Amino acid sequence: MFETKITKMFGVKYPIVQGGLMWIANSQLTSAVANAGGMGFMTALSFPDPDALREEIRKCKKMTDKPFGINLTFLPTLRQPDYPGYIQACIDEGIKFIETAGRSPEPYMDQIKSAGIRVIHKCTTVRHAVKAEKIGCDAVSIDGFEAAGHPGEEDVTSLILVPLTRDAVSIPVIASGGFADGRGLVAALALGAEGMNMGTRFVATKEAPVHEKIKQALVDHGETDTRLIMRSLRNTERALKNPVVDKVLEIESRGNTKIEDIAPYVSGDRGKKMLESGDTDSGVLSAGQCMGMIRDIPSCGQLLERIINEAEAVVREKFGKITAGR
Ligand code: NAD
């Protein structure tokens, strides 16, 4: 029922995408998503160098014979990643899809496209989606204000952003931000997307390689429990409200914030330790408003099956009645 331009492009069963998740989207999670019929992207920057990414790609290939891709995020970082090296590792390992995110992938398009790799650019504004199409991206993933991580600076929700992006580009659109269940999938398709991306929902799955207490925190917290940090640096991040986030907000409220002022609190290394220890008060945990809809910790297989069953039921019960009544 849910074959779309995106399922055809990726060669997967369901139009459900697990986008890049820093420290979390590794071979264990991404292969589980792939085996469940979705499209998963391992996050390159989670691995210290291109060789480590290469190893993880090989590991993932042993865990699934289904398609999967690599996420490359171009945002400010405390360390300078070797982007050409990571791309070369993808090329050498026969990766067919790269999800870029954040800043424009334009400086790397020649290297990526000359290897025949398709680019799905994740962005947060219509104009960036238009630019992505212009520079040769094959699809865009448009991230609404509800999203975890970096939802941009313009605060437009998915309900508005997805149809406007659909109207503005002719390449396939993936709806991202606020999606966590079968109702969301039907809504994403109705808004003009060819599929939906989920991040936070995939962190609360059995296969996500994080401490159980992190997963439980996503179950226990609701849609109002996130805060936006780093707005003063125009690098906004939506995260679970906790004492570290409160501290960052307090520093930002003083004005003239520099990255050095908050780096000890927001650093990825600190976040990585938090994901391993399960101490949800010890770092910044990216989390979306869809936390309100996360009530359990299923396997990826159970999750995708449930989403598809729910989406089919919505189509049958709601739209079936509407069309039958005409
Ligand atoms: P990191 O330790 O290099 O930096 C920690 C945080 O500070 C990140 O959010 C980063 O964007 C921000 N930052 C660093 N230097 C900055 C500067 N000069 N100005 C403004 N903000 C600055 O980050 P990491 O945890 O190792 O992650 C690596 C990359 O992946 C970062 O670019 C990060 O933003 C990105 N990331 C993306 C998502 C997502 O949802 N797409 C989630 C987590 C991390």
Domain identity same for 201 and 63: yes
In a domain, 289, yes or no: no
Domain identity same for 243 and 125: no
DSSP class of 289: G
Domain identity same for 129 and 190: yes
Domain identity same for 159 and 235: no
Q: Which atom of ligand 1 is nearest to the CA of 147?
A: 40
Domain identity same for 112 and 191: yes
The CATH number of the domain holding residue 92 is: 3.20.20.70
In a domain, 254, yes or no: yes
Q: Residue 198: count other Cβ atoms within 10 Å of its Cβ.
A: 29
The CA 253 to ligand 1 mean position distance, Å, reads: 20
Q: In which residue are the tokens 């989207």 written?
A: 25
Q: Ligand 1, atom 22: nearest CA belongs to which residue?
A: 76
162, 143 Cβ separation under 8 angstroms: no
65-117 tens-digit pLDDT:
999 999 999 999 988 999 999 999 999 999 999 999 999 999 999 999 999 99
In a domain, 326, yes or no: no
Percent share of the chain, pLDDT over 90:
96
Domain identity same for 162 and 272: no
Provide the residue range defining the domain that includes 259: 212-277
Integer angstrom CA distances of residue 281 from 49, 78, 217, 245, 260: 29, 22, 10, 9, 21
Does residue 190 have a pLDDT over 70? yes
Residue type, 109: M
In a domain, 292, yes or no: no
Domain identity same for 202 and 238: no
Does residue 320 have a pLDDT over 90? no
Q: Which atom of ligand 1 is nearest to the CA of 234?
A: 20
Domain identity same for 133 and 15: yes
In a domain, 312, yes or no: yes
Q: Which atom of ligand 1 is nearest to the CA of 269?
A: 2
In a domain, 83, yes or no: yes
Domain identity same for 99 and 123: yes
Domain total of the chain: 2
Give Cβ neighbours of residue 43 (< 8 Å, ≥ 6 apart): 20, 21, 22, 23, 24, 25, 26, 70, 71, 73
Threshold 0.85, pTM exceeds: yes
211-255 tens-digit pLDDT:
999 999 999 999 999 999 999 999 999 999 999 999 999 999 999
Domain identity same for 269 and 313: no
Q: Which of 315, 308, 208, 302 is nearest to 7 (CA)?
A: 308
In a domain, 64, yes or no: yes
Domain identity same for 201 and 231: no
Domain identity same for 115 and 251: no
Q: Tell me which residues have their CB closer than 6 angstroms to ligand 1.
A: 20, 22, 45, 73, 75-79, 101, 149-150, 230, 233, 235, 237, 259, 266-268, 271, 286
138, 132 Cβ separation under 8 angstroms: no
Q: Which atom of ligand 1 is nearest to the CA of 199?
A: 40
In a domain, 324, yes or no: no
The CA 139 to ligand 1 mean position distance, Å, reads: 24
